A and B are shown apart, each in its own frame.
Chain A
Amino acid sequence: MSPLVDADISADTDLLGKTVSDLQEDIVISNGVISGTLHYVTGYTGFDASHPELQEGHFLALHAEAEDATSISVRPLGSAADPVPLDADGLYILHIVNATGIEYYTVIDGVTYLNVYKFDGLVMEPKEDD
């Protein structure tokens, strides 16, 4: 049972104070490649209220699901950190910094899967001038 990771989230879905359309546009995941557009976001206090440096930049909202799974978690590569269980909605928001792709593990009912996605075709819009 491998996880299905997609970005099929309604554009007006509230993501901790920003909507999907505030963060991204036309995100498609296919054959390990993520394409589409990430807008430059500012003032994203809902992402991390205690770290202002994490409230600005590019954010990618993804959705994970696995048939008949009772738990889905994510954890970093090369780390003994405990996996972070996703909520029932399967949504997670990624703050992307200096990355050409993302690599992480998804743990489904105790079984670990490696997720590797390249950002080929992903446009990260620059910060708009004030």
Chain B
Amino acid sequence: MKTLVFDGNKLIDLGSAEAKKAKKEEPKTKAVKPSNKAGKAANK
């Protein structure tokens, strides 16, 4: 017996257990904004 979720006519969730298996863990990355302070200081 499987459980499925439909929202707006579309099948969006393939049951709790299956959905969890299907979901790939997104890599935990943090965006790093390059600092421009050194360049500004040098230009002064």
Count chain B residues whose beta carbon lies closer than 8 angstroms to a beta carbon of A. Answer: 18
Chain B residues close to A by CB (< 8 Å): 1-16, 18, 22
Residue A43 at the chain B interface, CB threshold 8 Å: no
Interface string of A90-109 (1 = CB under 8 A from B): 01111111111111100000
With both chains docked as a complex, state the minimum distance between the C-beta of A22 and any C-beta of chain B, in angstroms: 15
**Among A51, A81, A103, which residue has its beta carbon within 8 angstroms of that of B14?**
A81
Count chain A residues whose beta carbon lies closer than 8 angstroms to a beta carbon of B. Answer: 33
Interface SS of B by simple majority: strand
**Among A16, A99, A102, which residue has its beta carbon within 8 angstroms of that of B1?**
A16
Cα of A121 to Cα of B9 in the assembled complex, Å:
16
Name, among B2, B7, B12, the residue most crowded by chain A CB atoms within 10 Å (CB to CB).
B2
For B9, the chain A residues whose CB sits under 8 A away are 99-103
Residue A89 at the chain B interface, CB threshold 8 Å: yes
